[in-house]
């Protein structure tokens, strides 16, 4: 069967204003947008000098002194926000109030909790604006191909899935002020992509402990969640951000692996993100009845960072062009935020939490 790890770029029609000049915008998103030839017309951040440096690096014609000034720029069609999640909702609401703004791409997490996320969904719909969330793991090449295999029933009925992360993130300084760490900022990738693959979750059981290496106060450092889906799939998501000591001459082994087992076959692979900035493509291999039991190993050259971010912005541009809902809609993402809240509730109360408990 034909497998497409990267989506086609179908639309480049809308002018982008970037809010934020940190790593994810400066090193990843803007690199992807240049590759895709998306028009970025303006940038702003909390630090104007930093925004000017990023603008010079990527040839962005206008720098605004404040995010609000960028939002009010009538030349901007899409506001692309890369800001801390406690500050992001205010920027989204400011953009919703501007008649020239057609759409907003928000970072994940959309907000600090599901209640605020749901409010933003309702307010965006009332304003007639398209609100999308940058859940970029859905555009990782191995996840896209895996989804195609599942949709084509190559693996039969899915039975069990796992995502095993043993890698050390760079925690942004603003996270020190939150009472939520790994599940909200890293595990959310895995919880969301499992929903992308298998649909809605009926219950989740999560156990957490602090990470010895993370110096600031937190509870959810290392996390392990077991999920049960409406279609009967069971899945495990492990976020081991400790990943063992990595000093004193000790050689580590950092990776993200995933595996899906079905009634007619299995697929497994790796996520290339831990190799950044050197970079390597994610991988996938599958063996099924339809392959005669032989392993098939499709390959590609593109990577999660930065190429997946092309798909994230493209799906929003295409939604605007066609008047359809974006693949990464905020309405769908509110369900992921509910799953994150359920994971925290499970860890706090040490029990399985049915998602029905958290319905708005």
Q: What is the DSSP letter of 175?
A: G
Residue where a domain terminates, one of 92, 110, 136: 136
Considering the domain architecture, whether residues 197 and 63 belong to the same structural domain is answered as no
Q: What is the CATH number of the domain that holds 92?
A: 3.40.50.720
pLDDT at residue 234, rounded to an integer: 99
Considering the domain architecture, whether residues 263 and 348 belong to the same structural domain is answered as yes
Domain assignment of residue 158, yes or no: yes
pLDDT at residue 90, rounded to an integer: 98
Instruction: Give how many domains the chain has, as a whole number.
Output: 2
For strand 265-270 and strand 283-288, is the pairing parallel, antiparallel, or unpaired?
antiparallel
Label residues 107-146 b or e (16+ Cβ within 10 Å = b): bbbbbbbbebbbebbebbeebebbbbbbbbbbbbbbbbbb
Task: Please give the residue range of the domain that contains residue 154.
Answer: 138-307+337-358
Q: CA 253 to CA 246: how far, in whole Å? A: 9
Coil, helix or strand at residue 287:
strand
Domain assignment of residue 6, yes or no: no
- For residue 154, the number of C-alpha atoms closer than 13 Å in the C-beta half-sphere is 25
pLDDT at residue 19, rounded to an integer: 98
Residue where a domain terminates, one of 136, 169, 189: 136
Helices (H) and strands (E) counted in the chain, each on its own, are: 11, 15
| Residues facing residue 18 across a β-bridge | 43, 80
Domain assignment of residue 2, yes or no: no
- What does the angle CA 231 – CA 235 – CA 240 come to, to the nearest 5 degrees? 160
Domain assignment of residue 317, yes or no: no
Q: CA 26 to CA 24: how far, in whole Å? A: 6
Considering the domain architecture, whether residues 201 and 349 belong to the same structural domain is answered as yes
Domain assignment of residue 282, yes or no: yes
pLDDT at residue 360, rounded to an integer: 57
pLDDT at residue 276, rounded to an integer: 85
pLDDT at residue 251, rounded to an integer: 80
Considering the domain architecture, whether residues 76 and 212 belong to the same structural domain is answered as no
Q: CA 353 to CA 258: how far, in whole Å? A: 24
For the chain, which residues score pLDDT lower than 50?
none
Q: CA 183 to CA 340: how far, in whole Å? A: 7
* Whether this model's pTM surpasses 0.75: yes
Tokens of 86: 């406690």
The residue length of the chain stands at 360
Domain assignment of residue 316, yes or no: no
Residue where a domain terminates, one of 111, 136, 161: 136
Considering the domain architecture, whether residues 212 and 295 belong to the same structural domain is answered as yes
């Amino acid at each position: 069967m034909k497998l497409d790890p990267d989506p086609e770029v179908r639309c480049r029609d809308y002018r982008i204003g970037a809010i934020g000049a940190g790593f994810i915008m400066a090193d990843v998103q803007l690199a992807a947008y240049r590759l895709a030839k998306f028009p970025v017309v303006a940038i702003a951040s909390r630090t104007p000098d930093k925004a000017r440096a990023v603008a010079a690096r990527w040839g962005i014609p206008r720098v605004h002194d404040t995010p609000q000034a960028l939002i009010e720029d009538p030349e901007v069609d899409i506001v692309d926000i890369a800001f801390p999640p406690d500050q992001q909702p205010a920027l989204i609401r400011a953009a919703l109030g501007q008649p020239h703004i057609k759409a907003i791409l928000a970072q994940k997490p959309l907000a600090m909790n599901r209640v605020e996320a749901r409010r933003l969904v309702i307010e965006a719909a009332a304003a007639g604006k398209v609100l999308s969330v940058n859940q970029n793991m859905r555009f990782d090449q191995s996840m896209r191909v895996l989804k195609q295999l599942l949709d084509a029933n190559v693996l039969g009925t899915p039975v069990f899935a796992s995502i095993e992360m043993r890698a050390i993130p760079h925690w942004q300084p603003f996270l020190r002020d939150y009472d939520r760490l790994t599940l909200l900022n890293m595990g959310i990738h895995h919880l969301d992509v499992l929903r992308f693959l298998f649909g809605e979750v009926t219950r989740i059981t999560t156990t957490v402990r602090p990470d010895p290496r993370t110096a600031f106060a937190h509870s959810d450092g290392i996390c392990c969640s077991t999920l049960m889906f409406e279609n009967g799939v069971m899945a495990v998501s492990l976020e081991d951000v400790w990943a063992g000591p990595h000093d004193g001459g000790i050689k580590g082994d950092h990776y993200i692996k995933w595996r899906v087992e079905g009634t007619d076959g299995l697929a497994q692979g790796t996520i290339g993100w831990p190799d950044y900035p050197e970079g390597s493509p994610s991988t996938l291999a599958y063996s099924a009845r339809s392959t005669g039991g032989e392993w098939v190993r499709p390959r590609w050259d593109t990577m999660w960072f930065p190429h997946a971010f092309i798909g994230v912005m493209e799906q929003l541009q295409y939604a605007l062009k066609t008047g359809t809902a974006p693949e990464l809609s905020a309405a769908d993402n509110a369900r992921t935020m509910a799953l994150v809240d359920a994971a925290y509730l499970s860890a706090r109360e040490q029990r399985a939490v049915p998602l029905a408990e958290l319905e708005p």
